[in-house]
Amino acid sequence: MERRKPRALRPGDRIGLLAPSGSATSPGHVDTALAAVRELGFEVVEGRSCRAVHGYLAGDDALRAAELEAFFADPSIDGIFCLKGGYGTPRILDRLDYAAIARNPKVFLGYSDITGAHLALGRDCGLVTFHGPMPHSKDLPAWDGPSRARLLSCLGPEGGKGVLANPSGRALSCLAPGRARGRLTGGNLSLLAATIGTPWELDARGKILFIEDIGERPYRIDRMLTQLRLAGKLDEAVGFLIGDWTDCEPEAGKKSLSVEDVIEELLVATGKPVLAGLAAGHGKPNLTLPLEIEVELDAAALSLEFLEAATC
């Protein structure tokens, strides 16, 4: 499918803030999130879903799907930021009018559970989207110095083009040498596995696959990566980029492989390049990654280069 790049954001642009996934922790967190978006230099339009609650969801499925469609269709809104992750995005994937969304490409930002939407918008709309920090997080505001600088670089005219370096003090590591070139895809491993068998499942053909997760024991990471392997996704990918594994240690006192063991046995074993330790995902800093953009990965050189701008 033809790719659609969003227009670069400029100071004063209007950002639609919505919650296609889980409900906000509190109204105060929403207020802080709105202020954080304004502090970036944007106006902000608050969606109804930001304060809606339907159990663990930010309102019912109809509300969350309709609001996402409406924000894409609204010409006064220049970009869309997701408030938070949690759970719920997969529930609305079959409710969206992808043809209508494709006619109105614009910045779409989020991570974690938002991975489901990234996959769907990339697959059915050809839309370049942004895996990056959201304004509602456990460490409000979400945009520390490196996270903020990378976010604005990606959303602005530079479009994130060039070599992406880790913040000072965060070393990348080569788990398997080699060079690979392809579009970047992926995100949260739990969501990547959850889409298998659906119309919006991960398309890794000829791509660099990025993965990260939070709160998963090594055996669960093993199970999900094995699901991707059995579905052919690890064969399709040409290289692997590993982000943060946050709170993914073995249970104390239990026999277990480590996450590193699992990566060695399932990813390194493919013989493809594997670059690990990128500050992206559920850790902090959380560097923004434009998805469906051509990148070159050189694991031995500890290098990831975005070969084109993500914005137009």
User: 3-class SS at 166?
Assistant: coil
The amino acid present at 86, given as its one-letter code, is G
Q: Assess whether 173 carries a catalytic annotation.
A: no
pLDDT at 1: 77
Q: How far apart are CA 126 and CA 95, in angstroms?
A: 18
> Of 46, 201, 212, 216, which one is the catalytic site residue?
212
CB atoms within 10 A of CB 201: 18
CB atoms within 10 A of CB 304: 23
Strand segments (E) across 53-165: 79-82, 107-110, 129-131, 162-163
Taking alpha carbons only, the member of 155, 139, 221, 145 closest to residue 188 is 221
Domains plus CATH for the chain? 14-143 (3.40.50.10740), 162-306 (3.50.30.60)
Residue tagged 């502090």 (tokens): 39
Residue 194, by phi and psi: left (phi above 0), alpha (psi -120 to 50) or beta? alpha
Please say whether the beta carbons of 229 and 211 come within 8 A.
no
Q: Assess whether 131 carries a catalytic annotation.
A: no
User: 3-class SS at 282?
Assistant: coil
pLDDT at 139: 66
Taking alpha carbons only, the member of 186, 126, 124, 129 closest to residue 155 is 129
Q: Assess whether 251 carries a catalytic annotation.
A: no
pLDDT at 140: 65
Tell how far CA 228 is from the center of its chain.
18
Taking alpha carbons only, the member of 211, 149, 159 closest to residue 184 is 211
Q: How far apart are CA 218 and CA 214, in angstroms?
A: 11
Low-confidence ranges of the chain (pLDDT < 70): 138-141
> Of 112, 147, 153, 190, which one is the catalytic site residue?
112
- Is the pTM above the cut of 0.85? yes
